[in-house]
Amino acid sequence: MNSTLPNSEAGVSRALDLLRTPNTRLVSIFGSIDENRARHVHYLIDVNGREYRMLSSPVTGPIPSATPITPSAAWYERELHDQYGIECVGHPDPRPLLFHENWPENVHPMIDDASHVPWAEGQHPFLKVQGDGVCEVPVGPIHAGIIEPGHFRFSVVGDTVLHLELRHFYTHKGTEKLFEHTPVMDGVMIAESVSGDNCFSHAVAYCQAIESAFGIAVPPRAQAIRLIGLELERMIAHIADVGALCGDVAFSVPAAYTARIKETLLRASTRFFGTRFWRGMAVPGGVTRDLSSAETCEFGKMVTAAARDFAQMARLILHTSSVQNRFESTGILTAEIARQLGIVGPVARASGIRLDVRCDHPSGRYRDINVDIPLYKYGDVLARARIRIDETAISMHLINETLKELPAGSVLVPAPHSGNAEALSAVESPRGELLYWVRIRDGKITRCHIKSPSFQNWPALPLAVPGNIIADFPLINKSFNLSYSGCDR
Amino acid sequence: MIGDAVERSLRSPHVLISVSELLSNAAGSRMPDVQSDLLTDEIARRVVAACPTSALQINEAAGRTHLILNYGNCIGCSRCVAAGNGAFRYAESVARCGVRKEALIRRWDIQSRAEVVQDDSALSQAAEQIRSLVGRALNIRQVDAGSCNGCEGEIVALTNPYYDLERFGIHFVASPKHADMLLVTGPVTRNMAAALKHSYDAVPSPKLVVAVGACGCNGGIFGGSHAVVGPVDAVIPVDGYIPGCPPTPSMLLTGIVQVLSPYCRLRERRRS
């Protein structure tokens, strides 16, 4: 990027001014092109924790960077440049983000023809940490376990980590571009494949955006079933995370035990909904499968039994001294840093930041209920484990309450296949705030932006690791449990 | 309190699923199956129009109309089940796991309402073969070449107490240098192509490669993206394909065993 002076568009200046005011949080920055192929930038800002405000502006040249105002803008602006070639002047780290050295510098797939992109070569400039006894430890992209790919570059002295640099986007699949020209009813299949273990959250967020764009009233029974699916997905994710944390401190019995509880829930989903991960359940207009009253009762019992079993095992886990020894004060993310980076989800709540879409920006059935939000302030691995244990019990409670008062009626209404509209929708996925913004022309998606909680939270991990020993890194990483594919898209 | 956790685990009931219940079982995969006797030309055309991934196609040649179902393209969206008027239902079993790419495809002759049968003889022997595997070892290195993490979730599930892959002597290992088989998921992204190739080169010969999931088999919904190179066989040679989006643990197990079957037969013959 060169250092041409930015010609401050009014919309950009207004957005930056808003970001400077207290009680605002940057949610996302993304680009789009209009019918004349002119570029636009959109700033999505949460005002007072209650209202999503979007400020948009046409872009004709470089724009001033928001990163000096809020570091949480850093990756969004790098993505904006990779996708749209929009330069953010004053960005402290303007290296490419989505594209690696195999991608030519001047190809921006959202504005250029990207069907036959030549292969390029180069070397990624990692930050060099120098000094006596400093060693560099490269890890990945392929890791030792059955995990997604990503690269971690540690600079260590002895066992202690001085600096950690992430290099991700190995699973970047150009997903936002794939949405272009997709009929609204088909887009949900792409949304389900953004992050495989949170596929129902993505599907619901997408469907809600379509429904909000077209003003479709989703039947109350469908909204209730969606809540059950979202909370079940949260339970499954949290139970698996706590088990994996045990696995990372070599406490393999509870690791296997929780894997078993997770499997009972997946098998219950298969039995009652015909799908292990609720794929195909959410469609614009409602859900594809209903529950009979006998099934409702049986399903509730299975969920309750699994959650109680987990709660009792979790108590034993937290009372084990070797677990306490490894979890406590490991990988601390301070509230200060979490706030600056706009951290969301369980990671934010473990650092004392009370953010939850279910309370702050409720949609569907969440508008009618109260959700308890557990909060811990220490920001260590233990706090992130405790948040997940508490939230599993709360999710079970929400599922049972919903099953008890399941509204009567249909679960699906027809959705229109044509028309022009734009809309935003938010869901609290197991990893935190997930947003879909869609623009529809003639019943087809022309732009779909996904704000994933993992994209937001990954930059915080390198700040929780320094000072810890390198052997604790897998544990700290697992306690964040961020999605690579959800981040890379 | 370590003792308490162990005791609780030991006292919990046994959940292990038997081999015969596992093999070919496709419950929860949402893969479709066809009731040949209910298949009509009208239904065939309707499901083909409903299919978003071209897993269903019609082939007309020599006066015969064939309905083609390619499991390798199927993402289990259920639209054919909804549009098929009873002729399409969820498959209880999908034996086409770990097979050659061509064997992922099934065909039905619409005029005679019957499946055009291919040679499946190897499939029925799978149960016998997995028993013969007990006591031997297969080391698998899993590589995510760009997956959404759905397939990984199911591969991890293979190690839980329901499926317990280790009982067959099958282990997941940390390094490709220790592996006999690469289990590869995802459409291969541009950013993972080089790493996948390096992993393949690091596996000592003879080696097996299994492509997992709709993306691994044919690129899935990500085929054609500017950031994706293609399915696994666009980058490294593949011995067997496991369809599904994602394949269930039982489909994965069936596929792994199926890929091994020619080697098992060789071994049996040598013994006699």
| Final residue belonging to a domain, choices A87, A122, A157 | A122
Residue of B9, B11, B152, B191 to mutate for A, most A C-beta atoms under 10 A: B191
Residue B173: name the closest of B206, B202, B213 by CA. B202
pLDDT at B266: 43
Neighbour count for residue A466 (Cβ, 10 Å):
15
pLDDT tens figures, B173-200:
999 999 989 999 999 999 999 999 999 9
pLDDT at B1 over 80: no
pLDDT tens figures, B58-105:
988 888 889 999 999 999 998 999 888 888 999 988 888 888 888 899
Are both B132 and B218 inside the same structural domain?
Answer: yes
Residue B190: name the closest of A73, A254, A183, A119 by CA. A119
CATH number reported for the structural domain that contains residue B197 in this entry: 3.40.50.12280
Q: Give phi and psi for B13, each to the nearest 5.
A: -65, 160
In Å, the largest CA–CA distance within chain B is 73
Q: Which residues contact residue A326 at a Cβ distance below 8 angstroms, ignoring those fewer than 6 apart?
A: A249, A381, A472, A475
Examine residue A135 and state whether it is found in any structural domain, yes or no. no
Are both B105 and B160 inside the same structural domain?
Answer: no
Count of the separate structural domains present in chain A: 2
Amino acid at B204: P
Are both A290 and A371 inside the same structural domain?
Answer: yes
Mean pLDDT of B159-170: 88
Are the CB atoms for A137 and A150 separated by under 8 Å? no
Neighbour count for residue A219 (Cβ, 10 Å):
18
Which H, E and C letters describe A336-400, residue by residue?
Answer: HHHHHCCCCHHHHHHCCCCCCHHHHCCCHHHHHCCCCCCCCCCCCHHHHHHHHHHHHHHHHHHHH
Q: In what order do the strands lie in the sheet with A134-139?
A: A134-139, A151-157, A160-167
Using a CB–CB cutoff of 8 Å, tell me whether B25 touches chain A: no
Examine residue B162 and state whether it is found in any structural domain, yes or no. yes
Using a CB–CB cutoff of 8 Å, tell me whether B200 touches chain A: no
Are both A112 and A199 inside the same structural domain?
Answer: no
Examine residue B12 and state whether it is found in any structural domain, yes or no. no
Are the CB atoms for A174 and B228 separated by under 8 Å? yes
Which position has the higher pLDDT, A72 or B24?
Answer: A72
Report, as ranges of residue numbers, the positions in chain A whose pLDDT lies below 70. 1-8
pLDDT tens figures, A292-325:
888 999 999 999 999 999 999 999 999 999 999 9
Count of the separate structural domains present in chain B: 2
Please say whether the dihedral angle defined by the alpha carbons of residues A125, A127, A130 and A135, taken in this order, is positive or negative: negative
Examine residue A165 and state whether it is found in any structural domain, yes or no. no
Examine residue B160 and state whether it is found in any structural domain, yes or no. yes
Are both B139 and B161 inside the same structural domain?
Answer: yes
Q: Residue with structure tokens 């960077």?
A: A65
Residue A139: strand pairing partners:
A152
Q: How far is CA A421 from the centre of its chain?
A: 25
Residue B227: name the closest of A173, A195, A448 by CA. A173
Strands A282-283 and A286-287 come out as: antiparallel
Give me the domain span that covers residue B190: 124-265
pLDDT at B269: 44
Are both B144 and B80 inside the same structural domain?
Answer: no
Are both B137 and B226 inside the same structural domain?
Answer: yes
pLDDT at B118 over 80: no
Q: Give phi and psi for A325, each to the nearest 5.
A: -60, -40
Are both B77 and B149 inside the same structural domain?
Answer: no
Examine residue A393 and state whether it is found in any structural domain, yes or no. yes
Cα A189–Cα A192–Cα A196 angle in degrees, nearest 5? 140
Question: Which residues in chain B touch residue A270, judged by CB atoms under 8 angstroms apart?
Answer: 27-28
CATH number reported for the structural domain that contains residue A112 in this entry: 3.30.460.80
| Final residue belonging to a domain, choices B123, B144, B178 | B123
Nearest residue on chain B to A273, alpha-carbon basis: B28
Calculate how close chain B gets to A281, using CA atoms only, in Å.
9
Residue B89, SS3 per DSSP: strand
Are the CB atoms for A452 and A195 separated by under 8 Å? yes
Are both B79 and B164 inside the same structural domain?
Answer: no
Residue B200: name the closest of B223, B216, B177, B221 by CA. B177
Residue A284: name the closest of A217, A365, A194, A197 by CA. A217
Q: Residue with structure tokens 């953004």?
A: A194
Query: Is A280 in contact with B76 (Cβ distance < 8 A)?
Result: yes
Using a CB–CB cutoff of 8 Å, tell me whether A485 touches chain B: yes
Residue A31: name the closest of A11, A7, A1 by CA. A11
pLDDT at A418: 81
Examine residue B27 and state whether it is found in any structural domain, yes or no. yes
pTM score, whole prediction: 0.93
Are both B49 and B81 inside the same structural domain?
Answer: yes
| Final residue belonging to a domain, choices B88, B123, B158 | B123
Integer Cα distance of A418 and A414 in angstroms: 12
Residue A452, SS3 per DSSP: coil
For residue A26, give the DSSP letter.
E
Q: List, as one string, the DSSP characters of A278-293.
A: -TTTEETTEES----H
Examine residue A160 and state whether it is found in any structural domain, yes or no. no
Are the CB atoms for A266 and A276 separated by under 8 Å? yes
Strands B208-212 and B181-185 come out as: parallel
Residue of B8, B89, B144, B201 to mutate for A, most A C-beta atoms under 10 A: B144
Examine residue B142 and state whether it is found in any structural domain, yes or no. yes
| Final residue belonging to a domain, choices A98, A122, A146 | A122
Are both A60 and A203 inside the same structural domain?
Answer: no
Cα A195–Cα A196–Cα A202 angle in degrees, nearest 5? 55
Examine residue B60 and state whether it is found in any structural domain, yes or no. yes
Mean pLDDT of B153-166: 92
pLDDT at B133: 56
Are both A114 and A191 inside the same structural domain?
Answer: no
Are the CB atoms for A368 and A413 separated by under 8 Å? no
Q: Tokens standing for B184? A: 């590869």
Examine residue B9 and state whether it is found in any structural domain, yes or no. no
State the burial class of residue A443 (Cβ atoms within 10 Å of its Cβ: 0-12, 13-18, 19+). Answer: middle
Integer Cα distance of B30 and A482 in angstroms: 27
Query: Is A277 in contact with B246 (Cβ distance < 8 A)?
Result: yes
pLDDT at B21: 85
Are both A277 and A201 inside the same structural domain?
Answer: yes
Are both B243 and B134 inside the same structural domain?
Answer: yes
Q: Give phi and psi for A462, each to the nearest 5.
A: -60, -15
Examine residue A34 and state whether it is found in any structural domain, yes or no. yes
Examine residue A140 and state whether it is found in any structural domain, yes or no. no
pLDDT at B119: 59
Q: List, as one string, the DSSP characters of A154-216.
A: EEEETTEEEEEEEE--TT---HHHHTTT-BHHHHHHHHHTTSGGGHHHHHHHHHHHHHHHHT-
Q: List, as one string, the DSSP characters of A233-279.
A: HHHHHHHHHHHHHHHHTT-HHHHHHHHHHHHHHHHHHHHHHS-SS-T
pLDDT at B205: 82
Are the CB atoms for A45 and A25 separated by under 8 Å? yes
Q: Tokens standing for A359? A: 């309370």
Considering only residues 100 to 129 of chain B, which have any Cβ-Cβ distance to chain A shorter than 8 Å?
Answer: none
Q: Which residues contact residue A382 at a Cβ distance below 8 angstroms, ignoring those fewer than 6 apart?
A: A324, A327, A328, A329, A330
Integer Cα distance of B93 and B32 in angstroms: 10
N residues, chain B: 272
Residue of B17, B22, B89, B226 to mutate for A, most A C-beta atoms under 10 A: B226
State the burial class of residue B38 (Cβ atoms within 10 Å of its Cβ: 0-12, 13-18, 19+). Answer: middle
State the burial class of residue A427 (Cβ atoms within 10 Å of its Cβ: 0-12, 13-18, 19+). Answer: buried
Are both B108 and B240 inside the same structural domain?
Answer: no
Are both A187 and A255 inside the same structural domain?
Answer: yes
Sorting pLDDT into bands at 50, 70 and 90, what band is B23? Answer: confident
Are both A28 and A118 inside the same structural domain?
Answer: yes
pLDDT tens figures, B7-16:
888 888 889 9
Give me the domain span that covers residue A291: 177-480
Question: Which residues in chain B touch residue A259, judged by CB atoms under 8 angstroms apart?
Answer: 156-157, 159-161
Integer Cα distance of A45 and B199 in angstroms: 43
Are both B142 and B249 inside the same structural domain?
Answer: yes
Examine residue B34 and state whether it is found in any structural domain, yes or no. yes
State the burial class of residue A293 (Cβ atoms within 10 Å of its Cβ: 0-12, 13-18, 19+). Answer: exposed
For residue B33, give the DSSP letter.
E
Using a CB–CB cutoff of 8 Å, tell me whether A102 touches chain B: yes
Integer Cα distance of A57 and A447 in angstroms: 16
Examine residue A163 and state whether it is found in any structural domain, yes or no. no
| Final residue belonging to a domain, choices B102, B123, B144 | B123
Are both A277 and A390 inside the same structural domain?
Answer: yes
pLDDT tens figures, A227-270:
999 999 999 999 999 999 999 999 999 999 999 999 999 999 99
Are both B139 and B248 inside the same structural domain?
Answer: yes
pLDDT at A411: 93
Considering only residues 412 to 441 of chain A, which have any Cβ-Cβ distance to chain B shorter than 8 Å?
Answer: none
Please say whether the dihedral angle defined by the alpha carbons of residues B80, B86, B87 and B90, taken in this order, is positive or negative: positive
CA dihedral B163, B168, B169, B174 (to 10 degrees): -30
Examine residue A280 and state whether it is found in any structural domain, yes or no. yes
Integer Cα distance of A410 and A244 in angstroms: 39
Calculate how close chain A gets to B112, using CA atoms only, in Å.
31
